[in-house]
Amino acid sequence: MSVFKHRRRTVFLTDEADSLQTLEGRESVKNDAPSRLSRRITALSVIGAKLAHGKTKRARTAHGSTLAPPVGHTVDFPRTYSRESTPSPTPSLDEIRMPFGLGRMASESSLRSAALEQAGREPNFAVGPRERCMSTPTLLTNASARLKGVLAASSPEGAAGPAVARVPPELWAIVFGFCSRAEIVSWARISKTLHDAATHALYERLDLRELTPECVERCINTLASRRSSAALVRAFTCSVLPASDGGTPSLSTVSCAIALNHMENLRSLTLPRFDAQLLYHASFRLTRLTLLADSMSSDELGALLSWLEKQPDIATLSFPTLRLFSAAPSIPSHVLPRLAHFHGPAPMASVAIPGRPVKSAVLHVHNTLYDGLKPSALMTALTRSASVLTHLVVEASATAVDARTLERVLMSAGAALGSQLEVLGVLWALPDEILYKQLLAVLPRFRTLHTLRLRRAPGAPTVSAAFLSVPPSSPSASSLYLSAPPSPAPTIASLAVPQPAYGSRPSTPASMADLPEPRAQERALLNAWNRHCPTLRTVVFLGGAEWRCGGRFASCIVPGQNVYAQSWRFVGLSGTQACMHCE
């Protein structure tokens, strides 16, 4: 007999001995009180025990060894009770174990392989550690969810949704920047995604200057009633505001104030005048403020300075049409701490620029030397900027300022700012030849200037015919050869021809007569100015012609010696004469 069979027989016989001892104990107790009822119960118990013992005898083999108990889902009923007296337990569905370890479902494997092939990746069939799972019927109910998870994991990032929805908002802003407002409205009607992007483009910059007063009022009422639309506005320009008489505000004034209060993300604001009733409760933080008023009283200036204390982020302050014929009120040092660009009258510039990090300034000169203008004091105030002032534009009135006043202003600017100015702009209202002659005396004072922009004021007289017909004062041979070789008439083909390289010898020198009369005169002026200001690289004339310095050119005056001079290249004409505001 093997050890395992002996062990099974010992365990089985031990269980039988325990049950027999229990029955014998019960018989001894019942024999102590002999009665008819107890005898019957004892007889029944003995019969049950014999029957159970008989089953165990039949379970033995021919050699006398006892077989092991059967294996399966059987219930071990008590030996003294019948099978019908004990109900069979009903197992739940969760306890039913389905076979596992047979691999992944065929449908799931095929779907995952197809998804991987569509995504451009190779399926990985490497054998790895198998995850432990429960093979229950509840797993079958979640098969669709598992398949969705497998497909989502196998797809590339961001592949969900239409392609239009995955375009970043910055790209849509660039696309809509090339469209008109009518075209943007058409884009907004295509889909919901394009509607959101087009709405942002429509409301981001609102310019109402070209609309009628009725349309402006309807637009302001819409912004007052739709807070979500007003929150999209970042730049607002309006040339008409409701009338304000200082008494009870009208309904239009209240609607305009509500609309401005809803523009919580507003950064740039342009208004025809300053109105404290409209802007007192505003919640935005401006970085740019422009007021188009022609005049402002002392009370309005005081109210403006009080309101500017609540706007510390303003970097650009502009008064393009304001005229002040008296001294401007002083501005506290804590007001406008981040001011970097100023555009306004000269008296206000002398109090707004000192102590603030102003880098560029546009000065309006409306007074003359006879009216009390002090150019030296004005330019000295500009030197007290907290930052280095590198851009300066001087704009003169068309009728009030004479040539002597402008010359003194430019001379004072060169004396005070000549070591730091890089860009100089002049808005001229007098004949052109007066400015060109003054620049010959002014440019030597600017030692770091590289850009000169000249612009003719609207209604100013143009250059005279005598100035164009008369050549410059008998240029010597040396000055003629120091100039760059003249080019033919500025055509597209001639502009495409490369300029001579640095240190190269010209092929066939031409004469000044080969250029058109205006271009030849401009080139002569450039050569004269460049000798007085060697750092000059870009010049825009009053007529809109732009010239740029393309490097140095070697010209042979004496055999065996090369003298280098600047080579100027005609770029083109600016038909619109863009504004010279350096911001």
* Cβ contact 235:205 at 8 Å: yes
Lookup: tokens for 174: 């660039």
Q: What are phi and psi of 466, to 5 degrees?
A: -65, -35
- Cα–Cα distance for residue pair 354/382, rounded to 1 Å: 6
In this prediction, residue 112 carries a pLDDT of 55
Closest CA to 414 of 406, 278, 427: 406
Residue with tokens 């008023």: 293
In this prediction, residue 272 carries a pLDDT of 94
**Mean pLDDT to the nearest integer, 491-516:** 42
Residues 6 or more apart in contact with residue 563 via CB below 8 angstroms: 481, 482, 554, 555, 556, 557
* Cβ contact 408:370 at 8 Å: no
In this prediction, residue 49 carries a pLDDT of 55
Closest CA to 390 of 413, 365, 411: 413
171 compared with 61, residue with greater pLDDT: 171
Q: How confident is the model at residue 187 (pLDDT cuts 50, 70, 90)?
A: confident
- Cα–Cα distance for residue pair 482/565, rounded to 1 Å: 6
The percentage of the chain sitting over the pLDDT mark of 90, rounded to a whole number, equals: 37
* Cβ contact 324:356 at 8 Å: no
- Least confident among 61-75, 241-255, 298-312, 480-494: 480-494
Q: How confident is the model at residue 552 (pLDDT cuts 50, 70, 90)?
A: low
Average pLDDT, the chain: 74
Residue type, 2: S
- For the cut 50, the answer to whether the pLDDT of residue 574 exceeds it is yes
Residue type, 199: T
Using one digit for the tens of pLDDT, what is the confidence trace for 231-258? 999 999 998 888 876 667 788 889 999 9
In this prediction, residue 537 carries a pLDDT of 94
**Mean pLDDT to the nearest integer, 527-539:** 93
- Cα–Cα distance for residue pair 212/222, rounded to 1 Å: 16
- Cα–Cα distance for residue pair 294/218, rounded to 1 Å: 27
Query: Helices 251-262 and 213-225 meet at what angle, rounded to 10?
Result: 60
**Mean pLDDT to the nearest integer, 366-395:** 93
Closest CA to 234 of 197, 196, 204, 202: 204
Instruction: Give domain limits for the chain.
Output: 3-67
Q: How confident is the model at residue 51 (pLDDT cuts 50, 70, 90)?
A: low
**Helix H or strand E encompassing 316:** strand 316-318
204 SS3 class: helix
- For the cut 70, the answer to whether the pLDDT of residue 525 exceeds it is yes
Using one digit for the tens of pLDDT, what is the confidence trace for 255-293? 999 999 999 999 999 999 999 888 988 889 999 999 999
- Least confident among 222-226, 234-238, 245-249, 524-528: 245-249
**Helix H or strand E encompassing 154:** helix 143-154
- For the cut 90, the answer to whether the pLDDT of residue 439 exceeds it is yes
Beta bridge partners of 207: 237
**Helix H or strand E encompassing 45:** helix 36-58
* Cβ contact 383:414 at 8 Å: no
114 compared with 368, residue with greater pLDDT: 368
SS (H, E, C) 493-547: HHHHCCCCCCCCCCCCCCCHHHCCHHHHHHHHHHHHHHHHCCCCCEEECCCCEEE
Q: How confident is the model at residue 470 (pLDDT cuts 50, 70, 90)?
A: very low
Q: What are phi and psi of 539, to 5 degrees?
A: -135, 130
202 compared with 4, residue with greater pLDDT: 202
In this prediction, residue 504 carries a pLDDT of 41
- Within 13 A of 212's CA, how many CA atoms are on the CB side? 2
In this prediction, residue 316 carries a pLDDT of 97
In this prediction, residue 145 carries a pLDDT of 60
The percentage of the chain sitting over the pLDDT mark of 70, rounded to a whole number, equals: 57
- Within 13 A of 220's CA, how many CA atoms are on the CB side? 28
423 SS3 class: strand
Using one digit for the tens of pLDDT, what is the confidence trace for 85-95? 555 555 555 55
471 compared with 142, residue with greater pLDDT: 142
One-character DSSP codes across 256-291 = HHHHHHH-TT--EEEESS--HHHHTT-----SEEEE
In this prediction, residue 92 carries a pLDDT of 53
In this prediction, residue 190 carries a pLDDT of 86
- For the cut 90, the answer to whether the pLDDT of residue 468 exceeds it is no
**Cα angle: 327, vertex 442, 360; to 5 degrees:** 50
